[in-house]
């Protein structure tokens, strides 16, 4: 996923969310439809900042000319401006949570594309409705259990440390500690059942590996 961003220097929450989403960013020098960064991007992320009306007008022009999905980052006192905003696909309110930003970017990228179900053997994960099924039977997963399992299915074979999983799944602002990962892995193994629990293997002195 390639995200054009404006301005070039983003707030910490937005930067962390883009990293969590695995996005490549290209700075847009100006909100100009002729900017080369917009032609190579999958979407555009704009922080309204201190000149919201001007940026909304520029966003509307970009949306009309380029047709790029636009995610706005606004403060709470700028929400009223969203009612008449044109060319805006979605928005988030500051302070931005990295996980929320990643999910919104995922929805935007899926809007014009068929949804792909993730599969591993007889496990299916549907990212559109956050449903998981094992041998055709629904799994009862919490939101973060689903997110952890999704990440592992999308990134098999490689060993991930607890700290890496905390960063990639929970986000940089989470301070629950490595034990949180162990607890969720234990729950996932239990819900996968005895025959499939070994899909998530423990890598000694490192962390966990899937597959």
Q: Domain boundaries in the chain?
A: 2-110, 118-210
Q: How confident is the model at residue 167 (pLDDT cuts 50, 70, 90)?
A: confident
User: Is the confidence at residue 173, as pLDDT, over 60?
Assistant: no
Calculate mean pLDDT across residues 160-179.
76
- CA dist 103 and 150 (Å) reads 13
Task: Evaluate whether 36 touches 27 at the Cβ level (below 8 Å).
Answer: no
pLDDT of residue 113: 47
**From its phi and psi, is residue 177 left (phi > 0), alpha (psi between -120 and 50) or beta?**
left
Contact 48, 73 (CB under 8 A): yes
Average pLDDT, the chain: 84
What average pLDDT does the segment 180-195 reach? Answer: 95
In the prediction, which pLDDT does 109 show? 65
Q: 85-139, pLDDT tens digit by residue? A: 787 878 888 888 877 788 787 777 655 444 578 999 999 998 777 789 999 999 9
CATH topology of 2-110 equal to that of 118-210? no
The per-residue pLDDT for range 17-48, each reduced to its tens digit, is 788 777 888 888 778 778 887 777 888 888 88
Task: Tokens for 140, please give them.
Answer: 């009862």
Nearest to 203 by CA among 170, 177, 165: 165
CATH topology of domain 118-210: Arc Repressor Mutant, subunit A (1.10.10)
Homologous superfamily of the 2-110 domain (CATH):
Response regulator (3.40.50.2300)
Confidence class of residue 150 from pLDDT cuts 50, 70 and 90? very high
């Amino acid at each position: 996923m390639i995200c054009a961003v404006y301005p070039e220097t983003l707030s910490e929450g937005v930067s962390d969310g883009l990293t969590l989403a695995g996005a490549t960013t290209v700075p847009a020098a100006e909100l100009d439809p002729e900017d080369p960064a917009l032609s190579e991007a999958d979407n555009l992320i704009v922080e309204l900042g201190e000149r919201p009306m001007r940026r909304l007008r520029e966003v509307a022009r970009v949306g009309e000319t380029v047709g790029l999905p636009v995610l706005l980052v606004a403060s709470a006192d700028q929400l009223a401006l969203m009612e008449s905003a044109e060319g805006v696909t979605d928005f988030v309110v500051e302070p931005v949570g990295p996980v929320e930003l990643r999910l919104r970017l995922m929805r935007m990228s899926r809007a014009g594309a068929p949804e792909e179900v993730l599969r591993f053997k007889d496990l299916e994960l549907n990212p559109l409705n956050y449903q998981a099924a094992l041998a055709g039977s629904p799994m009862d997963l919490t939101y973060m259990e689903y997110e952890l399992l999704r990440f592992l299915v999308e990134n098999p074979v490689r060993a991930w440390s607890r700290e890496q999983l905390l960063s990639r799944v929970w986000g940089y602002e989470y301070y629950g500690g490595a034990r949180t990962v162990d607890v969720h892995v234990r729950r996932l193994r239990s819900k996968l059942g005895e025959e499939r629990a070994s899909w998530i293997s423990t890598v000694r002195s490192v962390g966990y590996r899937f597959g």
